[in-house]
Protein backbone atom coordinates (compact mmCIF):
# COMPACT_ATOMS: atom_id res chain seq x y z
CA UNK A 1 0.00 0.00 0.00
CA UNK A 2 1.40 3.37 -0.94
CA UNK A 3 -0.63 5.57 1.36
CA UNK A 4 0.44 9.20 1.19
CA UNK A 5 1.11 10.79 4.58
CA UNK A 6 -1.13 13.78 5.34
CA UNK A 7 0.62 17.12 5.07
CA UNK A 8 1.04 19.33 8.12
CA UNK A 9 1.32 22.96 9.09
CA UNK A 10 4.04 23.56 11.67
CA UNK A 11 2.36 25.99 14.06
CA UNK A 12 4.52 28.33 16.10
CA UNK A 13 4.40 31.38 18.33
CA UNK A 14 7.23 33.85 18.91
CA UNK A 15 7.13 34.78 22.57
CA UNK A 16 8.32 38.36 22.82
CA UNK A 17 6.79 41.50 24.31
CA UNK A 18 6.14 44.90 22.69
CA UNK A 19 9.55 46.29 23.73
CA UNK A 20 11.34 43.47 21.88
CA UNK A 21 9.95 44.71 18.56
CA UNK A 22 12.56 46.35 16.32
CA UNK A 23 11.13 49.88 16.55
CA UNK A 24 11.82 49.82 20.31
CA UNK A 25 14.93 47.66 20.87
CA UNK A 26 17.54 45.44 19.29
CA UNK A 27 17.88 46.63 15.70
CA UNK A 28 19.84 49.26 13.78
CA UNK A 29 16.81 51.61 13.73
CA UNK A 30 15.48 51.06 17.28
CA UNK A 31 14.89 53.83 19.82
CA UNK A 32 17.03 51.85 22.29
CA UNK A 33 19.93 49.94 20.69
CA UNK A 34 19.73 47.07 23.20
CA UNK A 35 17.26 45.62 25.68
CA UNK A 36 19.63 46.66 28.46
CA UNK A 37 19.40 50.32 27.32
CA UNK A 38 15.60 50.07 27.41
CA UNK A 39 15.53 48.74 30.97
CA UNK A 40 18.07 51.32 32.15
CA UNK A 41 15.67 54.08 31.12
CA UNK A 42 12.45 52.33 32.11
CA UNK A 43 12.71 51.57 35.78
CA UNK A 44 9.00 51.18 36.37
CA UNK A 45 7.28 47.90 35.82
CA UNK A 46 6.76 47.67 32.07
CA UNK A 47 3.40 46.99 30.46
CA UNK A 48 3.03 43.22 30.03
CA UNK A 49 1.25 42.45 26.76
CA UNK A 50 2.02 38.74 26.60
CA UNK A 51 1.25 36.82 29.80
CA UNK A 52 -2.55 36.81 29.58
CA UNK A 53 -2.29 36.54 25.81
CA UNK A 54 0.00 33.48 25.86
CA UNK A 55 -2.25 31.80 28.44
CA UNK A 56 -5.23 32.49 26.19
CA UNK A 57 -3.46 30.97 23.17
CA UNK A 58 -2.62 27.86 25.19
CA UNK A 59 -6.28 27.62 26.22
CA UNK A 60 -7.39 27.85 22.58
CA UNK A 61 -4.83 25.20 21.53
CA UNK A 62 -6.06 22.90 24.31
CA UNK A 63 -9.64 23.38 23.15
CA UNK A 64 -8.65 22.25 19.62
CA UNK A 65 -6.20 19.62 20.91
CA UNK A 66 -3.39 21.18 18.91
CA UNK A 67 0.29 21.15 19.89
CA UNK A 68 2.52 24.02 18.81
CA UNK A 69 6.08 25.29 19.08
CA UNK A 70 6.85 28.27 21.30
CA UNK A 71 9.96 30.13 20.15
CA UNK A 72 10.90 31.73 23.45
CA UNK A 73 13.11 34.76 23.94
CA UNK A 74 15.19 33.46 26.89
CA UNK A 75 14.82 36.84 28.61
CA UNK A 76 11.04 36.31 28.60
CA UNK A 77 11.49 32.86 30.17
CA UNK A 78 13.47 34.51 32.99
CA UNK A 79 10.99 37.29 33.68
CA UNK A 80 7.51 35.87 32.98
CA UNK A 81 6.95 33.02 35.45
CA UNK A 82 3.30 32.42 34.56
CA UNK A 83 4.20 31.71 30.92
CA UNK A 84 6.88 29.26 32.04
CA UNK A 85 4.49 27.54 34.44
CA UNK A 86 1.88 27.09 31.69
CA UNK A 87 4.33 25.66 29.14
CA UNK A 88 6.71 23.60 31.26
CA UNK A 89 5.98 19.90 30.88
CA UNK A 90 3.07 20.65 28.52
CA UNK A 91 2.24 19.15 25.11
CA UNK A 92 3.99 22.06 23.40
CA UNK A 93 7.54 22.32 22.12
CA UNK A 94 10.01 24.93 23.43
CA UNK A 95 12.47 26.38 20.91
CA UNK A 96 14.85 29.34 20.98
CA UNK A 97 14.12 32.86 19.78
CA UNK A 98 17.50 34.13 21.11
CA UNK A 99 18.46 35.71 24.43
CA UNK A 100 17.16 39.28 24.09
CA UNK A 101 15.67 39.47 20.57
CA UNK A 102 18.67 41.48 19.36
CA UNK A 103 18.99 41.58 15.57
CA UNK A 104 22.36 40.40 14.31
CA UNK A 105 22.83 42.57 11.22
CA UNK A 106 22.02 46.11 10.11
CA UNK A 107 18.74 46.10 8.19
CA UNK A 108 20.20 48.17 5.32
CA UNK A 109 23.92 47.41 5.08
CA UNK A 110 23.55 43.73 6.15
CA UNK A 111 26.74 44.13 8.16
CA UNK A 112 26.83 42.52 11.65
CA UNK A 113 25.68 44.89 14.47
CA UNK A 114 27.02 42.53 17.11
CA UNK A 115 30.29 40.64 16.81
CA UNK A 116 29.89 37.12 15.48
CA UNK A 117 31.51 35.77 18.65
CA UNK A 118 29.06 37.71 20.89
CA UNK A 119 26.18 36.45 18.77
CA UNK A 120 27.42 32.88 19.16
CA UNK A 121 27.83 33.21 22.95
CA UNK A 122 24.31 34.66 23.24
CA UNK A 123 22.74 31.76 21.35
CA UNK A 124 24.65 29.25 23.50
CA UNK A 125 23.39 31.01 26.63
CA UNK A 126 19.78 31.29 25.37
CA UNK A 127 19.63 27.55 24.63
CA UNK A 128 21.12 26.73 28.04
CA UNK A 129 18.72 29.07 29.88
CA UNK A 130 15.68 27.60 28.10
CA UNK A 131 16.80 24.01 28.65
CA UNK A 132 17.36 24.67 32.36
CA UNK A 133 14.11 26.54 32.93
CA UNK A 134 11.90 24.18 30.92
CA UNK A 135 13.91 21.00 31.65
CA UNK A 136 13.73 19.96 28.02
CA UNK A 137 15.94 19.65 24.93
CA UNK A 138 15.84 22.64 22.62
CA UNK A 139 16.55 21.74 18.99
CA UNK A 140 14.86 24.58 17.08
CA UNK A 141 15.89 28.19 16.44
CA UNK A 142 14.18 31.22 14.93
CA UNK A 143 16.22 34.38 14.34
CA UNK A 144 14.83 37.58 15.94
CA UNK A 145 12.94 39.60 13.32
CA UNK A 146 13.75 36.71 10.94
CA UNK A 147 17.12 38.34 10.34
CA UNK A 148 19.14 35.27 9.35
CA UNK A 149 22.69 35.38 7.94
CA UNK A 150 24.60 32.62 6.22
CA UNK A 151 27.46 32.85 8.75
CA UNK A 152 25.01 31.69 11.44
CA UNK A 153 24.36 28.30 9.86
CA UNK A 154 27.58 26.47 10.92
CA UNK A 155 27.32 28.11 14.36
CA UNK A 156 23.71 26.98 14.86
CA UNK A 157 24.83 23.45 13.97
CA UNK A 158 27.78 23.71 16.37
CA UNK A 159 25.48 24.83 19.22
CA UNK A 160 23.34 21.76 18.66
CA UNK A 161 20.30 23.12 16.86
CA UNK A 162 18.76 20.69 14.39
CA UNK A 163 16.39 23.00 12.62
CA UNK A 164 15.89 26.70 11.92
CA UNK A 165 12.68 28.44 10.91
CA UNK A 166 13.60 31.94 9.76
CA UNK A 167 13.92 32.01 5.96
CA UNK A 168 11.19 34.18 4.44
CA UNK A 169 11.27 34.37 0.65
CA UNK A 170 9.02 37.00 -1.01
CA UNK A 171 9.14 40.07 -3.26
CA UNK A 172 8.53 42.62 -0.46
CA UNK A 173 11.52 42.08 1.80
CA UNK A 174 14.66 40.03 2.26
CA UNK A 175 16.03 40.13 5.80
CA UNK A 176 18.96 37.81 5.13
CA UNK A 177 22.45 38.83 4.02
CA UNK A 178 22.25 36.86 0.76
CA UNK A 179 20.21 37.01 -2.43
CA UNK A 180 17.39 34.51 -1.93
CA UNK A 181 16.31 32.51 -4.98
CA UNK A 182 13.73 29.75 -5.41
CA UNK A 183 13.27 28.99 -1.73
CA UNK A 184 10.73 26.16 -1.35
CA UNK A 185 7.79 26.39 1.07
CA UNK A 186 8.50 22.88 2.34
CA UNK A 187 11.27 21.78 4.77
CA UNK A 188 14.75 21.30 3.35
CA UNK A 189 18.36 20.90 4.49
CA UNK A 190 19.86 24.36 4.17
CA UNK A 191 22.82 25.37 2.02
CA UNK A 192 25.35 27.25 4.16
CA UNK A 193 26.13 29.82 1.42
CA UNK A 194 22.86 30.96 -0.12
CA UNK A 195 20.34 29.50 2.41
CA UNK A 196 18.66 27.58 -0.41
CA UNK A 197 17.94 23.87 -0.85
CA UNK A 198 20.87 23.44 -3.23
CA UNK A 199 23.55 20.86 -2.48
CA UNK A 200 25.88 20.65 -0.74
CA UNK A 201 23.54 21.08 2.18
CA UNK A 202 24.43 21.32 5.84
CA UNK A 203 22.89 19.11 8.53
CA UNK A 204 20.59 21.95 9.65
CA UNK A 205 17.01 21.67 8.43
CA UNK A 206 15.11 24.80 7.40
CA UNK A 207 11.36 25.11 7.97
CA UNK A 208 10.80 28.08 5.65
CA UNK A 209 7.99 30.60 5.90
CA UNK A 210 5.16 30.21 3.43
CA UNK A 211 4.61 32.61 0.56
CA UNK A 212 2.14 33.17 -2.21
CA UNK A 213 3.37 33.36 -5.80
CA UNK A 214 0.96 35.68 -7.63
CA UNK A 215 2.99 35.99 -10.84
CA UNK A 216 6.52 34.84 -11.75
CA UNK A 217 7.65 38.30 -10.61
CA UNK A 218 5.49 38.82 -7.52
CA UNK A 219 5.60 36.61 -4.44
CA UNK A 220 3.77 37.83 -1.32
CA UNK A 221 4.76 36.96 2.25
CA UNK A 222 2.55 34.42 4.02
CA UNK A 223 4.37 33.26 7.12
CA UNK A 224 1.80 34.70 9.51
CA UNK A 225 2.32 37.35 12.23
CA UNK A 226 1.95 40.88 10.89
CA UNK A 227 0.73 39.73 7.47
CA UNK A 228 -1.92 37.56 9.12
CA UNK A 229 -3.27 40.63 10.93
CA UNK A 230 -3.02 42.75 7.76
CA UNK A 231 -4.35 40.30 5.13
CA UNK A 232 -6.70 38.17 7.23
CA UNK A 233 -7.94 34.58 7.22
CA UNK A 234 -9.23 34.32 3.62
CA UNK A 235 -5.83 35.13 2.17
CA UNK A 236 -4.16 32.68 4.56
CA UNK A 237 -6.72 29.98 3.86
CA UNK A 238 -5.89 30.20 0.17
CA UNK A 239 -2.15 30.31 0.75
CA UNK A 240 -2.04 27.40 3.20
CA UNK A 241 -4.25 25.23 1.00
CA UNK A 242 -1.90 25.86 -1.89
CA UNK A 243 1.20 25.27 0.23
CA UNK A 244 -0.16 22.01 1.68
CA UNK A 245 -0.53 20.62 -1.84
CA UNK A 246 3.25 20.93 -2.17
CA UNK A 247 3.99 19.45 1.26
CA UNK A 248 4.38 20.50 4.88
CA UNK A 249 4.11 24.19 5.55
CA UNK A 250 4.56 26.71 8.41
CA UNK A 251 2.41 29.33 10.13
CA UNK A 252 3.31 31.59 13.05
CA UNK A 253 1.87 34.27 15.32
CA UNK A 254 2.76 36.29 18.42
CA UNK A 255 0.72 36.45 21.64
CA UNK A 256 0.75 40.22 21.24
CA UNK A 257 -1.23 39.83 17.98
CA UNK A 258 -4.31 39.00 20.09
CA UNK A 259 -3.61 41.56 22.85
CA UNK A 260 -6.38 44.04 23.67
CA UNK A 261 -3.94 46.33 25.50
CA UNK A 262 -2.70 49.66 24.19
CA UNK A 263 0.93 49.28 23.20
CA UNK A 264 3.09 52.08 24.67
CA UNK A 265 4.32 54.28 21.84
CA UNK A 266 8.07 54.46 22.25
CA UNK A 267 9.13 55.53 18.83
CA UNK A 268 8.24 58.88 17.26
CA UNK A 269 8.45 57.42 13.76
CA UNK A 270 6.11 54.62 14.81
CA UNK A 271 4.58 52.97 11.76
CA UNK A 272 0.82 53.65 11.81
CA UNK A 273 -0.14 50.20 10.50
CA UNK A 274 2.28 48.31 12.73
CA UNK A 275 -0.41 47.02 15.13
CA UNK A 276 -3.26 46.79 12.61
CA UNK A 277 -6.12 44.42 13.59
CA UNK A 278 -4.40 43.52 16.84
CA UNK A 279 -6.71 41.97 19.46
CA UNK A 280 -10.04 40.21 19.32
CA UNK A 281 -10.30 40.28 15.52
CA UNK A 282 -7.04 38.39 15.06
CA UNK A 283 -7.91 35.95 17.85
CA UNK A 284 -11.17 35.12 16.04
CA UNK A 285 -9.36 34.81 12.73
CA UNK A 286 -6.84 32.43 14.27
CA UNK A 287 -9.68 30.25 15.60
CA UNK A 288 -11.15 30.24 12.07
CA UNK A 289 -7.86 28.94 10.76
CA UNK A 290 -7.71 26.22 13.43
CA UNK A 291 -11.18 25.07 12.38
CA UNK A 292 -10.40 25.29 8.68
CA UNK A 293 -7.22 23.21 8.93
CA UNK A 294 -8.35 20.93 11.73
CA UNK A 295 -6.00 17.92 11.98
CA UNK A 296 -3.20 19.64 10.02
CA UNK A 297 -1.45 21.69 12.72
CA UNK A 298 1.43 20.26 14.70
CA UNK A 299 4.76 21.33 16.22
CA UNK A 300 7.86 22.26 14.24
CA UNK A 301 9.62 19.32 15.89
CA UNK A 302 7.07 16.84 14.52
CA UNK A 303 7.53 18.25 11.03
CA UNK A 304 11.31 18.18 11.49
CA UNK A 305 11.18 14.49 12.52
CA UNK A 306 9.08 13.63 9.46
CA UNK A 307 11.74 15.06 7.15
CA UNK A 308 14.83 14.06 9.10
CA UNK A 309 17.36 12.02 7.14
CA UNK A 310 18.83 9.46 9.47
ZN1 LIG B 1 10.50 37.83 17.22
**Based on the structure, what is the number of domains in the chain?**
1
Q: Would you call 288 exposed, middle or buried from its count of C-beta atoms within 10 A (0-12, 13-18, 19+)? A: middle
CATH code (residue 16)? 3.20.20.370
CA separation for the pair 264, 284 (Å, rounded): 24
Residue range(s) defining the domain that contains residue 158: 9-307
Residue 21 Cα to ligand 1 midpoint, Å, equals 7
Say if 1 falls within a structural domain. Answer: no
CA separation for the pair 302, 8 (Å, rounded): 9
Residue 69 Cα to ligand 1 midpoint, Å, equals 13
**Entry pTM:** 0.95
Nearest alpha carbon to residue 205 among 245, 165, 147, 241: 165
- The whole-number pLDDT of residue 117 equals 96
| Residues of the chain with confidence (pLDDT) below 50 | 1-2
Say if 271 falls within a structural domain. Answer: yes
Q: Would you call 87 exposed, middle or buried from its count of C-beta atoms within 10 A (0-12, 13-18, 19+)? A: buried
Dihedral of CA 135/17/10/151: which sign? negative
Say if 2 falls within a structural domain. Answer: no
- The whole-number pLDDT of residue 22 equals 86
Residue 214 Cα to ligand 1 midpoint, Å, equals 27
Residue 145 Cα to ligand 1 midpoint, Å, equals 5
Residue 2 Cα to ligand 1 midpoint, Å, equals 40
Residue 62 Cα to ligand 1 midpoint, Å, equals 23
Say if 187 falls within a structural domain. Answer: yes
- What is the β-pairing status of strands 211-215 and 163-164? unpaired
Say if 42 falls within a structural domain. Answer: yes
Say if 3 falls within a structural domain. Answer: no
Say if 75 falls within a structural domain. Answer: yes
Residue 194 Cα to ligand 1 midpoint, Å, equals 22
- The whole-number pLDDT of residue 273 equals 81
Residue 216 Cα to ligand 1 midpoint, Å, equals 29
Amino acid sequence: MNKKKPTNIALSFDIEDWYHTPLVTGSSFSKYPTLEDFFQQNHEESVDCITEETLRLIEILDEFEVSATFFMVADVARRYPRIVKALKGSRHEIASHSLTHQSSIDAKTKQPIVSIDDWYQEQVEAKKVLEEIFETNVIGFRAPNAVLSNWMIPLLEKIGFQYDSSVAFNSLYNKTNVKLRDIPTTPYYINGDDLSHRTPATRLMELPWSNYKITPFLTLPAGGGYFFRLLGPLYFKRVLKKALKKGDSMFYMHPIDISRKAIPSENPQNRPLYWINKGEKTEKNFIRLLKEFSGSFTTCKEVFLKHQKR
